[in-house]
Amino acid sequence: MSKFRIFGGRNFESFSEDPFLTGKVAAAYIIGLQEKGIGATIKHFAANEQETKRATIDVKVGEKALREIYLKPFEIAIKEADPWAVMTSYNKVNGTHTDSNNWLLSTVLREQWGWNGLVMSDWGGTNSVAGSINAGMNLEMPGPGRLRSVDAVKSCLENGSILESTIDNHITTILKFLAKANASSKQQTRQERSVDRPEHRRLIREAGGQGIVLLKNQNVLPLNIANLKTVAVLGLADMCLAHGGGSATVNPHYKITPLEALRRELGDVVEVSYSEGTQIRRVLPVMAEGLHDLDGKQGLTLSRFTSRDVKQEPSSHSNCATAATPLMLRDPSLAMSLEGTYTARETGSHYLSLQSLGPTKVYLDDDLVFDVQESCDDALAYLMRSRPGVLGRYNFVQGQKYRIRCESKAPSSLGSQGPLALLAGKPGMWIGFLTQQVVEQDLLCDAITKAEHADLALIFVGRTAEWESEGQDMDDMKLPANGSQDRLIEAVCAVNPSVVVINSTGGPIEMPWLNKVKAVIQVWFGGQESGNSIVDVLLGTVNPGGKLPMSFPKTLQDSPSYANFPGDLSKLEVDYGEDVFTGYRYFDKSPLGLQFPFGFGLSYTTFEMDVIDVDSASLVPEGKITLQIRVRNTGSRYGSEVVQLYVQKTRCPKEEALKQLSAFKKVNLKPNEQRAVEMSIDQGSAARWDSSEGCWSMDKGLYEIVLATSSAHTSAVINFTVKETYRFGPGNRINARHSCL
């Protein structure tokens, strides 16, 4: 539920740049989940929008922006869906870590919002004993408590820094949580299993297709198969970009690539050629093929040592399938080694890499290839395998065997790693490998040749989980790597006038080639059925109905958070200097840098809509204004439109955003079908935070309800008035005068 900011490595996990949309989507998700008896935990509470120094960074944010932008999604989800649990974030907010932030956990979450569920830390995200207990953080994760051990809690009780009654309250909350989860049931726990059902496959495919956003279309989509003899499929089409990296990574039952789906659908009538065209590899793949351990089995021999001296007798031996050691969080070993042989399959100066937690040496025969003497400075990158580490090359001869020995010691310290203190004192390493031929091959020329002889070029671009992942923020808004994907598009456009770009990322990219291509679709990370979902849209089996949940700037410099990221790392502070002017709230006042607006998305059909009735011309305390809106499909295809209502004040103070999303509804219509939909706005969706009074406010004056298809495309404007200023909250009590209760 963290808010989308342009550099965020976990943007693909965020719902939106808009707090209202984020809160409403989250609430619907939670309700559906908990109706099945499965508890939801919402995270990360709060202001956790960057991975850079996420465990120690102090987010400086004003109360107005905090309430309207960063806390609002949580408030909506808490009040409308009542999730079982809330997870705190790693960072500080205005000087205090969130797990120990009494204002966030007790004042806002429990007192003002009236919630009484369980608060847990993120994994390793507990920063104090007495502070977190007194603030209202119930449960340290993972268990058993690393910081809040039995002895540590007893010590705090004895010195009076926490009270026994406070512990009792925490225990009561945890027991209530366990009762909800039926944790005391004597029923036998079912073994975890993989369930792959046809209805699940259909749902994933349908959801993926409906979420695709058509950004540009110059009469090329959907594809007219009758007019095509040859199609060049280029770029990342042979990958299924199902998800981003980090803890969001899951193991699907299968993955359908776009290339596979295209060949299945077009193979009998259209010639489909493929070329990769570009390399966007960030890290070398883990060394696996050609390895044999000391017993001749595939893999390497893993030896563990109880001291940091790898010359002593090991405590145990086992087989390791690849040149990557397993995580040993509960293993007391302080050093490890990998031994065996590698048989070269090709001659060449091949590429190697090493990532390790502690000091590590790697030998090939008697040659010392890597000698890393320092402890890892980015343990999260090690954990996520998102950085290449130390790089090197070695001359191999085909068919020759090479002895491998890798020796790695536990790090003496991982520095200020916050949650990754869990890895302190634990050895670990992985070795990457790729042949010279694969790394240095020219892919672009082959792609150009195939595109030149095709009727149409479909170029698949995006970011893999190596580039868009938990544990790292993005360096820029460009497609990786080093401009290679942009060069592929430009080169193909020079030889083929019919180019469609299919982009798979979790957020905006710069598009220097936008005016040269016929169409662009944003396909996100569509899960295991991603290839099928994309091809459904390309062929017109599915009419794209997705809308952008965030604004797309033209360049990185046009983004509102550009100047404020990553903050002053010498002070470990980041200033949310854009205040409330995030996303479309910023572009409403600075539109020149906007490429595609929030809420935007084209269709293979067309729509018209207008307001046919409004039940009130004024908004009163605890009241609402209801509109009847007529939506008509004026095209020739079945499709969907998302009706959007924004509220804005006619005369907007400069410290206020011009407008804010206050209602939305998706409408599905057949060709020439029309329907009246009812939508309402109320004080909760229209009010602004008054920092001077410490509450929500609807100021006296003239307002407008903007009926739109995006934040930048208006269909109609309806006026209404607020006759007298009234304020309410934080406990939702109304005061129609001029002070806050």
Q: Are residue 380 and residue 447 in the same domain, yes or no?
A: no
Q: Which amino acid belongs to residue 714?
A: T
Does residue 250 surpass a pLDDT of 90?
Answer: no
Tell me the C-alpha distance between 325 and 338, whole Å: 8
Does residue 333 surpass a pLDDT of 90?
Answer: no
Q: What is the pLDDT of residue 740?
A: 32
Q: Are residue 210 and residue 356 in the same domain, yes or no?
A: no
Query: What are the residues facing 552 on neighbouring strands?
Result: 596
Q: Which class for 617: exposed (0-12), middle (13-18), buried (19 or more C-beta within 10 A)?
A: exposed
256-265, 379-388, 556-565 — which is least confidently predicted? 379-388
Q: Are residue 330 and residue 363 in the same domain, yes or no?
A: yes
Q: Are residue 274 and residue 332 in the same domain, yes or no?
A: no
Backbone dihedral angles phi then psi of residue 603, each to the nearest 5 degrees: -145, 165
The verdict on residue 580 lying in a domain is no
Q: Are residue 176 and residue 49 in the same domain, yes or no?
A: yes
Q: What is the pLDDT of residue 737?
A: 36
Q: What is the pLDDT of residue 649?
A: 92
**Tokens (6 digits) for 691:** 């920092």
pLDDT digits (tens, 9 = 90+) for 568-603: 999 999 999 999 999 999 999 999 999 999 999 999
The share of the chain scoring above pLDDT 90, in percent, equals 82
Return the number of other C-beta atoms located less than 10 Å from residue 346's C-beta.
13
Mean per-residue pLDDT over the chain, rounded: 93
Place of tokens 């595609």: 596
Q: Are residue 174 and residue 70 in the same domain, yes or no?
A: yes
Q: Are residue 525 and residue 615 in the same domain, yes or no?
A: no
The share of the chain scoring above pLDDT 70, in percent, equals 96
The verdict on residue 570 lying in a domain is no
Q: Are residue 316 and residue 243 in the same domain, yes or no?
A: no
Residue 624: CATH number of its domain: 2.60.40.10
pLDDT digits (tens, 9 = 90+) for 73-100: 999 999 999 999 999 999 999 999 999 9
Q: Are residue 229 and residue 345 in the same domain, yes or no?
A: no
Boundary of a domain, candidates 423, 439, 455:
439
**Tokens (6 digits) for 6:** 């342009």
Q: What is the pLDDT of residue 192?
A: 82
pLDDT digits (tens, 9 = 90+) for 275-289: 999 999 999 999 999
Q: Are residue 299 and residue 426 in the same domain, yes or no?
A: yes
Tell me the C-alpha distance between 354 and 361, whole Å: 9
Q: What is the pLDDT of residue 456?
A: 98
Which residues constitute the domain of residue 421? 291-439
Q: Are residue 25 and residue 151 in the same domain, yes or no?
A: yes
Does residue 413 surpass a pLDDT of 90?
Answer: no
Q: What is the pLDDT of residue 493?
A: 98
Eight-state DSSP code of residue 560 = T
Report which listed range, 292-296, 420-424, 426-430, is most confident.
292-296
Q: What is the pLDDT of residue 741?
A: 29
Residue 419: CATH number of its domain: 2.60.120.260
Does residue 646 surpass a pLDDT of 50?
Answer: yes
Q: Are residue 434 and residue 453 in the same domain, yes or no?
A: no
Q: Which amino acid belongs to residue 575?
A: D
String of b and e for 174-213 (b: at least 16 CB within 10 Å)?
eeebeeeeeeeeeeeeeeeeeeeeeeebeebbeebbbbbb
The verdict on residue 514 lying in a domain is yes
The verdict on residue 425 lying in a domain is yes
Q: What is the pTM of this model?
A: 0.92
Does residue 417 surpass a pLDDT of 70?
Answer: no
Residue 218: CATH number of its domain: 3.40.50.1700
Tell me the C-alpha distance between 113 and 79, whole Å: 7
The verdict on residue 193 lying in a domain is no
pLDDT digits (tens, 9 = 90+) for 336-369: 999 999 999 999 999 999 999 999 999 999 999 9
187-196, 261-270, 486-495, 691-700 — which is least confidently predicted? 187-196
Backbone dihedral angles phi then psi of residue 103, each to the nearest 5 degrees: -65, -45
pLDDT digits (tens, 9 = 90+) for 97-145: 999 999 999 999 999 999 999 999 999 899 999 999 999 999 999 888 8
Boundary of a domain, candidates 527, 546, 565:
546
pLDDT digits (tens, 9 = 90+) for 140-154: 998 888 899 999 999
Q: Coil, helix or strand for 245?
A: strand
Q: Given pLDDT bands bounded at 50, 70 and 90, which one contains residue 381?
A: confident
Tell me the C-alpha distance between 528 and 229, whole Å: 29
Boundary of a domain, candidates 439, 471, 499:
439
Q: Average the pLDDT over 641-661 and give the result.
A: 94
Residue 129: CATH number of its domain: 3.20.20.300
Clarify whether 238 is annotated catalytic.
Answer: no
The verdict on residue 185 lying in a domain is no
The verdict on residue 17 lying in a domain is yes
The catalytically annotated residue of 18, 58, 122, 558 is 122
Q: Is 500 in contact with 593 (CB distance < 8 Å)?
A: no
Q: Given pLDDT bands bounded at 50, 70 and 90, which one contains residue 410?
A: confident
The verdict on residue 566 lying in a domain is no
Number of domains in the chain: 4
Rounded (10°) CA dihedral 21, 26, 31, 33: 140
Tell me the C-alpha distance between 680 and 167, whole Å: 44
Q: Given pLDDT bands bounded at 50, 70 and 90, which one contains residue 738?
A: very low
